[in-house]
Amino acid sequence: MKKSDRLLVNTYATFLVNPSNLDIVEYNDYAGRYLSSEKKKISDIIYWDKSISKRIDFENEKKIIYSSRSKTDELELIVVIQVVNYHDVSYYNVILIDNLEDIKDFESQSIDDDISSNGLFTNIFQYSPIGLVLVDSQTKLVRANKYMFDCFDLNHRDNINEGFGNVFGCSTVSDTGFLCGQHEKCQTCKLRNGIDKVLNDKLTMEGVDLGHDFNINGRIVTKWFTISASPVQYGDSTYALFSFVDITQRVRMEERLRELGITDALTKLYNRRHIIKLFEEALLSDEHEHLSVALIDIDDFKIVNDVYGHLVGDEVLILLGEILKEQLRFSDCVGRYGGEEFLIIFNNTEMNTAKVVLERIQKSFREKSLDILDEAATFSAGLTQATIKDLKSDNTMNKILNLADKQMYRAKAMGKDRIKEAVYNEE
């Protein structure tokens, strides 16, 4: 028996390696399958991560785990590198695990020992490129890896024993004195409910996208994650292991692209296509008894462009768009219908009420436009009301728009800067 045999693990292919030049000093019998006369270095046998030597500190880091492949047969491997000392000389003890099921047998420590030591579980957990969180049966975080703390701009810490929301700054419980799960809003928290189902019902989560508000450096920020989870049983104790992939930037980009697809670039109102879509949906809705529709057109807008220029004309359009957003309710819909025309849908609103709102918008537009033009800008509007339950025609939307359009031109013919209305009835 070689004098260093006790440093070699016999169950797996194991090598004793010189750290300075990666020469193989000794190896066990099982490792012989990887060797040949040409293969003298560990880097001849596996794809060696060049950053390993930089990562290992002989005093602080005693073990590293990473995935690689055998250069002999391209077999997927788990590589475990332990720093060992023999007669005051440091070596790499390199262990190749070619059966992933063997990972369970590689270390037989209990979960409590393993998560508090520099074991296999800890290394894989810590260096994972996704967020990992281990939760105990009391829904307290036992451990979270560096990725998770980086997502929330927090310093990493090992000893946690707190609820998820308290650790990562859930906006519901942050700075309130409540523990995660105790606030009444926690009952409807999808993340919290997911943790409970995994722990109590032994259910798994697979690729669920969830968004939640967090307090990060004093600001409320919505973070989005793709979350997977499964229950983990160790002895008599049940844990839940969650993985988190931060998709916040992707979601924000998708939202931005969606906004660009439905928004008028100049006024930031809905574009024509989307306001028509909302109109169609309103006519099919069972939530409203009736609705009012207004089509408005800025008076003499061509003269504004000719006299002041198109840039000033754009400012007038932007101003009207801002006033419309300011004066209309959240339940109302407004979009740029085309050029200097705007379409407003007053959901569940009678025509008389809608007219009062339009008059208020007209007044504000006249007053504020004087900051841009030498004289007040005005608009004419056609307004109509329809009762949803009485609508039966397939061409109802176009008929309502045509009636509003006729009323608008009637307003212009009667002197502009006014509103003319008519109730729509199915013929």
Q: Output the pLDDT for position 115.
A: 41
Q: What is the pLDDT of residues 184-194, one digit of tens each?
A: 888 888 888 88
Dump the DSSP string for 206-250. EEEEEEEEEEETTEEEEEEEEEEEEEEEETTEEEEEEEEEE-HHH
Q: Side chain identity at 159, as an amino acid letter?
A: N
How far is 157 from 166, CA to CA, in rounded Å?
Answer: 14
Whether the predicted pLDDT of 380 surpasses 80: yes
Burial (CB count within 10 angstroms: exposed 0-12, middle 13-18, buried 19+), residue 400: buried
Higher-confidence residue of 390 and 4: namely: 390
Which residues of the chain does CATH 3.30.450.20 include?
5-106, 111-249
pLDDT at 408 over 60: yes
CATH code at 111-249: 3.30.450.20
SS (H, E, C) 44-102: HCECCCCCHHHHCCCCCCCEEEEEEEECCCCCEEEEEEEEEEECCEEEEEEEEECCHHH
pLDDT, position 61: 58
Which has the higher per-residue pLDDT, 125 or 144?
Answer: 144
Give the residue with greater pLDDT, 27 vs 413. 413
Q: What is the pLDDT of residue 337?
A: 95
Is the pLDDT at 99 greater than 90, yes or no?
no
| Parts of the chain belonging to CATH 3.30.70.270 | 263-423
Residue-averaged pLDDT of the chain: 83
- What pLDDT is stored for residue 35 in this prediction? 81
Q: Tell me, what's the pLDDT at 341?
A: 96
pTM: 0.52
* Region 263-423: CATH code: 3.30.70.270
Superfamily of the domain at 5-106 = PAS domain (3.30.450.20)
Task: List the one residue out of 280, 414, 260 whose CA is nearest residue 343.
Answer: 280
How many separate helices (H) and strands (E) can be counted in the chain? 13, 16
What is the layout of strands, in order, in the sheet containing 89-97? Answer: 24-27, 13-17, 89-97, 76-86, 63-69
Q: What is the pLDDT of residue 62?
A: 63
Q: What is the per-residue pLDDT for 392?
A: 66
Contacts of 375 (CB under 8 A, 6+ apart): none
Q: Is 340 a catalytic residue?
A: yes
pLDDT at 352 over 80: yes
Given 340, 359, 426, 427, the catalytic residue: 340
